[in-house]
Amino acid sequence: MKQCKKEDARKHIEAVIKIENEGVAVDPAIFKDLDYENTYLEQIRARFDWNFKNYVESKIPASFHFSSSNFFSPLYWNDKSELSIRKRGDKFYLVQGSGDAVDVIDEIVFDKKPKFYNMKTSDGKDMSRIVQAASSRVDITYSNECSLKDKGLDCKFCNINATKDRFGQLDKIEWKTPTQIAEAITAAYKYDNFHGFNLTGGFIPERREVEYYIDVIEAVQDVSGLTPEEIRGMACIGAPQDLSVIDKYKEAGYTNIATNMEVWDEDVFRYICPGKIQFGGDHNHWVRALKHEVEVFGKGNVRSLFVGGLETKERVIEGIEELSSYGVIAQPCIWKPCIGSALEGHRSPETQWHQDLLDKTFSILKKNGFTYEQYYYGLGCTNVIGNYFKLDGQWMPWEEKVEFV
């Protein structure tokens, strides 16, 4: 087992938060020799584009791990960031500063391309365009558009429709059938040792998610031959008006569920997420939905995300405290004023603001008894708090453990 100093591991967590909030500068030319065909995982903008500038000239790695801590980080490109990636020989390093006066944070290793990415479904579709690797879990965006756009009710921080307009055809992202999803998930589990999946997407017309989600989980069970506990499927849904609908997801075979409130303050929620209000109910109804999800799925099997930076830190913490006390794994993600969103051109709070919010969130989750295993199946290790759990000594059995000294 490799060892890493705790002080270095904390610097890695700080760097990940900075990348989430400010991106990382890199000359894409240094990636020209990377073998994306067989070896490295490339960015596929299936749902959102998190880069800080539009870039389509060549491929960019999707993510990396720190060599000494094994902590995960996404790669969001921003040529104005204080952080940058440098190449020395055949190795890559994350550094801070400019010119020769740089502080080397750690060697980084780009994540590898899974075997199933070079496989096709029975109807000839590239599996990499159906299911995307998210470290050791997979994500499926069943629809890369949201019907709220046509009604003028988009969430103001979201760029799912803009991402489809810019990258849908380029990245070959289309609507997925349940059979395509089932075949890709089965291959990911069988050939690449993936664990768990997250099914999500924009609002679809007439709120017909439940029928589609049930078709997907039944297809996954049929094609894979695995039990629900072996599959560990998460359904990410909007709050249904009829809360009994939630029971149907559990009965169909999902073991986890997510209903992302995004914003806790009622007035801000109404302004930022008008479509969620109109089709999912007000603040109190979303809370009732989450509480019912805990009753059905159990503590630690329900998730809700907030977009950290859209309201005061105190309000976000209030929401995390309350939802966590009900058994919901609640946490903020770092708001990036995405290209194509209504808030493009705005500024997210300073990185230290987000650092403090995430520190406090981890303390709340620990206080309420949540484990890394519960967090993993709710969010995977692609969210920064997964690194907090690892620093705390919690790892999933298939992860390469590190001893922090």
Residues contacting 96, CB < 8 A, separation 6+: 15, 82, 83, 84, 102, 103, 105
DSSP state of 113: P
Residue 265 half-sphere exposure toward CB, CA atoms < 13 A: 14
Q: Write down the pLDDT at residue 228.
A: 97
**Are the CB atoms for 67 and 94 separated by under 8 Å?**
no
Over residues 288-320, the pLDDT tens digits come to 999 999 999 999 999 999 999 999 999 999 999
115-404 has which CATH code?
A: 3.20.20.70
Q: What Cα–Cα distance (Å) separates residue 51 from each residue in 76, 123, 184, 217?
A: 5, 32, 26, 32
Domain ranges of the chain: 2-110, 115-404
The residue with greater pLDDT, 140 or 170, is: 140
Contact 127, 189 (CB under 8 A): no
Residue 254 predicted with pLDDT over 90: yes
pTM score over 0.75:
yes
Name residue 94's amino acid. Answer: L
Band of the pLDDT at 149, cuts 50, 70, 90?
A: confident
Q: What mean pLDDT do residues 335-355 have?
A: 96
Q: Which helix (DSSP H) or strand (DSSP E) does residue 159 occupy?
A: none
Q: How confident is the model at residue 383 (pLDDT cuts 50, 70, 90)?
A: confident
Structure tokens at 282: 């007000």
pLDDT band at 54 (very low <50, low <70, confident <90, very high): confident
Residue 205 in this model has a pLDDT that exceeds 90: no
Q: What is the pLDDT of residue 123?
A: 97
Rounded percentage of the chain residues whose pLDDT exceeds 90: 80
What is the DSSP code string of 160-189?
A: HHHHHHHHTTTTT-----HHHHHHHHHHHH
Backbone angles phi, psi at 105, to 5 degrees: -80, -50
Q: Identify the pLDDT of residue 108.
A: 98
- Give the tens place of pLDDT for each residue, 157-170: 999 988 888 888 88
**Which residue has 């558009």 as its token pair?**
145
Q: How far apart are the first and last CA of the chain?
A: 12
pLDDT of residue 13: 97
Question: Over the Cα atoms of the chain, what is R_g?
Answer: 20
- Give 266's pLDDT tier (boundaries 50, 70, 90): very high
Q: Please tell me the predicted confidence (pLDDT) of residue 215.
A: 96
* Segment 311-314 long-range contacts (CB within 8 Å, at least 24 positions apart): 311/263, 311/264, 311/265, 311/268, 312/265, 313/353, 313/356, 313/357
- What percent of the chain shows pLDDT beyond 70? 99
